Structure 1
Amino acid sequence: MLFRQLRRFIVFLLVIATFGLIFYQYIHFIEEPDLTEVPPPTALHPVVADKKDQLISQAADKGINVVITQDFRSIEEQDALYEKGRTAEGNIVTHAKGGESYHNFGLAIDFALMSVDGQVIWDMKYDGNGNSKEDWMEVVEIAKDLGFEWGGDWKQFKDYPHLQMDFGLSIRELQRGKRPPETE
């Protein structure tokens, strides 16, 4: 008798959980904006642009010249970059197809350093300001203080020049039309 009641109770809980999950997915689906109603970004997000300028300025205060090598990237540009090392010449530089990168939503920048002789470099050991600290990591520290996430911290594909601000939004949410506020 007790076993039968316990079994009925477990079945009841499973039915309730199933309906709850279906209801949650239905509500979540309804709330997502339609991409046809939300225009895609065409430039760097204003907050990211401001933080980029602060990054360059604060690094310059430490004697480090930062060069932004990429910021907003169109879906077509992303697709072309994705093809490098696959169907186009060169090494693989990204695992993100068009629409799968924070660059495509104006929320990411890539940087390099300018050496004292004016060369753009990606040397993470370079100490151009002569303070016995790697300039690259000094820039990363400034960027993190400004709210950027660094691609060098990623577990899988390390993207050392990459900095992004996702504002708590996933790529899927951005693809569905959600956008961060224009101001902080």
Structure 2
Amino acid sequence: MRKSIILFLLLLLLLFVIFPRTGMYGFLFDRGKYEYMDESSIEIISDLDELSPKTRELAIKFLEKCGENGLSVRITETYRTQARQDMLYKQGRTTSGSIVTWTRNSKHTKRRAFDICEDNTDEPYGDLEFFRKCAEIGKEVGLTPGYYFKNYQDMPHYELNRWWLQ
């Protein structure tokens, strides 16, 4: 029995050496894969069809209600590849720019989040009242607006936290 446990632990250790893990959930991927990638080629995806079915449904309801309330909303990003999420996470930490995300494990990579801005304006992120009104509508339709995040307010962000509804 003791030999089996030791053998199992050695096998497990060997697997982690051969397949290094990253991130808080230990997903397997090649750590160096994105190190030499031209980051300007990482596409920003804003297509609602890239969201999970339930998130897409709520995003459409959100947009309809915003329109009914005279709010001109543009979806700026929906699904985000892990490569893009990693690039954004590096920003302000190991690369130049401001910090724009606090996690590598985003709801965007799970197709359960989208970002918005105000459309048809010179300052798409400048109107705080616009984002407050949108947040109220987002909450009303069943989304979790980043506007209400306690530790880190993310006004343009909306997500579906009810994973069982995906």
The question of 1:137 aligning with 2:132 is answered yes
Distance 2:55 2:118 in 1: 19
Structure 2 residue 99 is matched with structure 1 residue 104 = no
Matched with 2:147 is: 152
Amino acid at match of 2:114: I
Secondary structure of 2:50's match? coil
Cα shift readout 1:7-55 (whole Å, capped 9, x = no counterpart): xxxxxxxxxxxxxxxxxxxxxxxxxxxx89xxxxx93111111111121
Distance between the aligned counterparts of 1:51 and 1:120, measured in 2?
26
Q: CA deviation at 1:149?
A: 0.8
Q: Is the 8 A contact 1:59 1:66 kept in 2?
A: yes
**How far did 1:120 drift?**
5.8
From the CA coordinates, give the structure whose radius of gyration is larger: 1
Distance across 2 between alignment mates of 1:120 and 1:111: 13
Tell me the TM-score normalized by structure 2: 0.65
Which residue does 2:156 correspond to in 1?
161
Percent identity over the alignment is 27
- For normalisation by structure 1, the TM-score amounts to 0.59
Higher RCO (C-alpha under 8 Å, 6+ residues apart)? 1
Structure 1 moving runs of 4+ over 6 Å:
none
- Structure 1, unaligned stretches of length 5 or more? 1-34, 37-41, 126-133, 170-179
Return the match for 1:65 from 62, 72, 96.
72
Alignment of 1:28-177 (within 5 A): 43-97=50-104, 100-115=105-120, 118-119=121-122, 121-125=124-128, 134-167=129-162, 169=163
Do the aligned partners of 2:92 and 2:99 also contact (CA within 8 Å) in 1?
A: yes
Structure 2: gaps (5+ residues): 1-26, 29-48
> Aligned-pair distance for 1:123?
1.7
What letter corresponds to residue 44 of structure 1 in structure 2?
L
Partner-residue secondary structure (3-state), 1:121: coil
